[in-house]
């Protein structure tokens, strides 16, 4: 704004009016200043060496002597008011720092995408299996990971000196309590609490003193199944497994049983499914066999019924124990069980 030449003022009144207006403009500019930089510009404009007030004061000496004091006083008051307002506004802006941040905030920059969590493949496999067996009429029950030796071994027809204990002998906590080596003791716990008929599945962690390699880990997961009633036969077992495996691995999945031995079942079987990698043709993963071993199964041994007080002449039953980790590996195409326990997000993020 061009300044009126101070020397051109003709009267005291006109000059005082000019000072008042300059002061009013200065105070408005101070209030409108949004940053310390803006404020500094206002200060220079009004109070600087070549500022507006300098110009105004420069006109005073040219006034008639009797007018000088009044105009001088007005000019000093105005100048003081502007200085005080500048200081006050400066403090205000200092306290309200975020305003400066706001200026540099660019709302067009894309935000940081949060990572989505998802269920671990073992959990997913467990949930799906539970869901499948629930639809087949099985109830879900749980047993403790610390188990009595009696439930883990003796009641399952594995007496003290039986060689089958070697595979399972594991982490003992005290003489008669151990970390369970399989989920089969949940069969015992359930039968001791209930009368037949019953159909249960029991998922959970199990522990063995295995050295980790591509197919072993000292902690892994099983889902145990038990059905007890009058007239349960091996055909019920076979049909249940076949239906469940097709539901889990896909409708083309075949199931086969090979004779085997478990102390708690008679007869016993190892159950294979057709290899999910090659569809049964034979590949590297199944060692060219076209089949992969997935679980142990059989008809409940009469000695187990006796241990829980069921009449083996009246009731029959089937049982099986399936490795959840192994099922997850076949299902999701993972060839090393250790990957399931590394918690490496590069793997988990893909599944």
| Rounded Cα distance, 188 and 307, in Å | 8
Closest CB to ligand DAH among residues 265, 276 = 265
Nearer to ligand DAH, 262 or 315 (CB): 262
Residues near ligand DAH, by CB under 6 A: 182, 184, 224, 262, 265, 296-298, 319-321
Tell me whether residue 181 or residue 276 sits nearer to ligand DAH (CB atom): 181
Q: What is the largest CA-CA distance in the chain?
A: 134
Residue 215: left if φ>0, alpha if ψ -120 to 50, beta else—which one?
alpha
Q: Minimum distance between the CB of residue 199 and ligand DAH, rounded to whole angstroms?
A: 13
For residues 46 and 320, which CB has a smaller minimum distance to ligand DAH in the complex? 320
Of 198, 221, 207, 208, residue with least CA distance to 141: 198
Q: Measured from the CB of residue 297, what is the shortest distance to ligand DAH in angstroms?
A: 5
- Structure-block tokens of residue 190: 């359930």
Identity of the residue, 56 or 200, whose beta carbon is nearer to ligand DAH in the bound complex: 200
Q: Is residue 301 within 8 Å of 280, Cβ to Cβ? A: no
Q: How far is the CB of 109 from ligand DAH (least distance, A)?
A: 55
- Nearest approach in angstroms of CB 254 to ligand DAH is 20
Min dist CB 222 to ligand DAH, Å, is 6
Cα 70 → chain centroid? 77
| Residue whose entry in the numeric block shows the structure tokens 């009058």 | 230
Measured from the Cβ of residue 62, the count of other Cβ atoms closer than 10 Å reads: 11
Distance CA 15, CA 19 (A): 6
């Amino acid at each position: 704004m061009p300044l009126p030449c101070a020397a051109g003022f003709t009267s005291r009144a006109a000059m005082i009016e000019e000072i008042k207006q300059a002061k009013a403009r200065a105070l408005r500019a101070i209030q409108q200043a949004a940053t310390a930089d803006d404020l500094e510009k206002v200060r220079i404009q009004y109070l600087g060496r070549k500022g507006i007030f300098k110009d105004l004061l420069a006109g005073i000496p040219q006034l008639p002597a009797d007018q000088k004091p009044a105009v001088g006083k007005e000019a000093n008051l105005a100048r003081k008011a502007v200085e005080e307002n500048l200081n006050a506004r400066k403090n205000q802006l200092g306290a309200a720092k975020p305003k400066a941040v706001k200026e540099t905030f660019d709302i067009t920059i894309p935000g940081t995408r949060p990572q989505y969590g998802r269920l671990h493949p073992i959990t997913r496999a467990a949930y799906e299996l539970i869901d499948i067996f629930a639809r087949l009429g099985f109830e879900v029950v749980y047993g403790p990971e610390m188990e009595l030796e009696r439930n883990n071994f003796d009641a399952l027809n594995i007496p003290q000196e039986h060689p089958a204990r070697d595979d399972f002998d594991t982490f003992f906590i005290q003489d008669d309590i151990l970390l369970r080596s399989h989920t089969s003791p949940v069969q015992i716990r359930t039968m001791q609490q209930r009368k037949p008929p019953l159909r249960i599945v029991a998922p959970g962690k199990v522990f063995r003193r295995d050295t980790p390699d591509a197919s072993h880990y000292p902690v892994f997961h099983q889902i145990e199944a038990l059905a007890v009633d009058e007239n349960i036969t091996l055909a019920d077992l076979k049909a249940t497994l076949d239906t469940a495996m097709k539901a889990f691995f896909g409708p083309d999945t075949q199931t086969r049983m090979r004779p085997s031995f478990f102390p708690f079942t008679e007869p016993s079987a190892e159950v294979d499914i057709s290899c999910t990698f090659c569809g049964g043709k034979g590949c590297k993963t199944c060692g060219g066999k076209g089949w992969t071993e997935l679980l142990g199964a059989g008809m409940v041994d009469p000695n187990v019924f006796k241990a829980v007080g069921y009449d083996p002449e009246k009731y029959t039953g089937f049982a099986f124990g399936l490795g959840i980790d192994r099922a997850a590996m076949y299902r999701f195409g993972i060839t090393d069980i250790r990957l399931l326990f590394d918690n490496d997000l590069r793997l988990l993020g893909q599944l």
